[in-house]
A and B are shown apart, each in its own frame.
Chain A
Amino acid sequence: MRFLFPILLILLVFGLFGCASYPNNPKLDHYDLSKGYRYDQLNAQKNSDSLFVILTFSGGGTRAAALSYGVLEKLRDTPIVWEGRHSNLLNEVDVISSVSGGSFTAGYYTAFGAAIFKDKKEAGFLRDFLYRDIEKELLTQLFYPTNWFRLASPYYSRIDMATDFYNAEIFNGTKYDDLINLKTKPYLMINATDMSLGSRFTFEQAQFDPMCADLGGVNLARAVAASSNFPVAFPPMTMNNHAGSCGYKEKQPGWIAEAEKDLLINPSRYKNAVLFKTYQDGKQRPFIHLLDGGIADNLGLRGPLQALVSNDTELSLQSKMSDGTIKKLLIITVDAKNKPDLNYDASAIPADVIDVLKIVANVPMDNFSFETTETLRKSFTELEKDKNTYLACQSQLQLHCPSAVLSSPAPNIPQLDFIYIGFDLLSNPAERDKFFNMKTSFYLPEAQINELRNVAKRLLDQSEAFQKFVSVIK
């Protein structure tokens, strides 16, 4: 009899914690474009749309978080005068799109603003994340008996445990509802990867609408955890798809039906429509599984790129350019990628399974990132060329036929600037290699973090494009 009580107690504890589950993202009552976490709902601003600044923060664990943090520090310390108002460049940031390690910096700055710069002796980002051995603490979590019981549940995994840790220890329970209530920029685009589609899944209400899910009730920590959900280290994160319960299908955005006709004329637009529609199918996809955002786009640049070339996305730069709202558009991409390891080629013995998995996870990601930056550069070049073609025609017409005018007005194409910040810009090979060889993890020694913060500032100082941009708005 005296053994029965402990056994019953253990069974009870297992029974209770065995029912542990990931948090169910809440249902959306009604699909409503005037509510939810959307760029156009952020209207309590001092910063204008006329100077439109987008930051993108790559993946790369603490290395990426520290490099992007250094960029924030540099922008804070860059004074500007825009439309007669004295400010700094950081205050003019409109959008931050991030992936994985970069999502910690992006999420914290969006939620807590200048508090991100608190000294590392105080509670804040530096003490609670950047200079902390997160990796060790996550491992320690595995040894807590309460977590054994919770992890026994098939509905609660290591990524949910990490989410709970980030939520309590870094993001203080912040939900997207808190960001909605703040109504301040920057607009945060935290990117994960839809495991089944291999495509970008952005934590914004427009992505949650077809799932009839309310992003407002989701913890910011959950978005950050999904974004940094490195395959194998963590299992996929599960989101509930409530599609069909909020009237979205009846009022779905008009671009979807039009883009479905574009298979031959614009295949990428067609593909976007086809992928997006899968979220409306709550029967076939009652659950959505998310992995690290780096698998689909390790720079966080694809979302802003799509907003630049399309009016289909809820945040459209096209319409803001066309109506003359945006006068200057600056995109800064912070890329903390490391170097491909060529040591495997020094031996005839092939790499083992773990190494092959690492290569398969990283090398295509880097190649894709290169393609993404090239696509953005080409888009900017094309727009500049279009603007110049118009101006050249106008000037020729004035020269040879002064009384004639062009039948169409000039398009509003703003000044476009793209700044890439990455270790490959460092001219000293030894220094470059030092940064390239910093490991990808959620812990780096203090000295390395300091070096990363400093090199970010130096790379911006050395960037001709950055100096040119700043010189005209000083």
Chain B
Amino acid sequence: MEYVIVNFIENRAVMANGKKLGQTNQTLLIEKGNHNFSLDGLQNYRPAQVMAVIKDTTTITPYQITFNLV
């Protein structure tokens, strides 16, 4: 099991590969491998999507992704 946090100024649904994974700013469970992250709702953030290889994470050191409000 791997862990990821998607940082964003608002509380939004996090989409992994087009499917809801959880909420922003929470430590989320995810399967090891390649994933494409984005946010649900308004497209008022950058980058539009983040492709990442998630591996070797722990609950203490989750993979960090940040989207910025524009």
CB proximity to A under 8 Å, residues B6-27:
16-23, 25-27
> Does B65 interact with chain A (Cβ within 8 Å)?
no
A266–B28 contact, CB under 8 A? no
B33–A266 contact, CB under 8 A? yes
CA distance A409 to B22 in the complex (A): 13
B60–A258 contact, CB under 8 A? no
* Partner among B17, B60, B62 whose Cβ is within 8 Å of the Cβ of A393: B60
CA distance A380 to B35 in the complex (A): 23
Answer whether A408 and B27 are a contact pair too, CB < 8 Å, given A258-B34, A269-B33, A389-B60.
yes
* Complex interface: chain B residues within 8 A of A345 (CB): none
Within the complex, the shortest CB–CB distance from B42 to chain A, in Å, comes to 20
CA distance A393 to B23 in the complex (A): 23
* Partner among B18, B34, B58, B62 whose Cβ is within 8 Å of the Cβ of A389: B58
Answer whether A311 and B1 are a contact pair too, CB < 8 Å, given A266-B32, A390-B59, A411-B27.
no
CB proximity to B under 8 Å, residues A249-292:
253-255, 257-259, 261-262, 265-266, 269
A311–B21 contact, CB under 8 A? yes
Taken residue by residue from 227 to 260, chain A's Cβ proximity to chain B (1 for < 8 Å, 0 otherwise) reads as 0000000000000000000000000011101110
> Does B3 interact with chain A (Cβ within 8 Å)?
yes
CA distance A412 to B61 in the complex (A): 15
With CB as the reference atom, state the residue of chain B lying closest to A256: B17
Counting contact residues on chain A (CB < 8 A from B), the size range is 35 or more
* Complex interface: chain B residues within 8 A of A312 (CB): 17, 31
A409–B16 contact, CB under 8 A? no
* Complex interface: chain A residues within 8 A of B48 (CB): none
* Complex interface: chain B residues within 8 A of A389 (CB): 58-60
* Partner among B26, B34, B55, B60 whose Cβ is within 8 Å of the Cβ of A322: B26
With CB as the reference atom, state the residue of chain A lying closest to B51: A258
> Does A401 interact with chain B (Cβ within 8 Å)?
no
B26–A383 contact, CB under 8 A? no
CA distance A269 to B30 in the complex (A): 12
Answer whether A379 and B33 are a contact pair too, CB < 8 Å, given A253-B17, A389-B58, A408-B59.
no
With CB as the reference atom, state the residue of chain A lying closest to B25: A409
B1–A309 contact, CB under 8 A? yes
CB proximity to B under 8 Å, residues A382-422:
382-383, 386-387, 389-390, 393, 406, 408-413
> Does A319 interact with chain B (Cβ within 8 Å)?
yes
> Does B53 interact with chain A (Cβ within 8 Å)?
yes
CA distance A258 to B18 in the complex (A): 11
B27–A319 contact, CB under 8 A? no
With CB as the reference atom, state the residue of chain A lying closest to B52: A258
A262-B33, A322-B23, A389-B58 given; 12 more Cβ-contact pairs under 8 Å? A255-B17, A258-B33, A258-B36, A311-B16, A318-B28, A321-B29, A322-B27, A322-B29, A386-B1, A390-B60, A393-B60, A411-B29
14 residue pairs from A and B, CB less than 8 Å apart: A258-B34, A261-B33, A261-B34, A310-B31, A311-B30, A321-B29, A322-B23, A322-B26, A322-B29, A389-B59, A390-B60, A408-B62, A411-B27, A411-B28
Q: Which are the 7 A-B pairs with shortest beta-carbon distances?
A: A254-B17, A254-B18, A322-B22, A411-B27, A390-B59, A266-B33, A262-B33
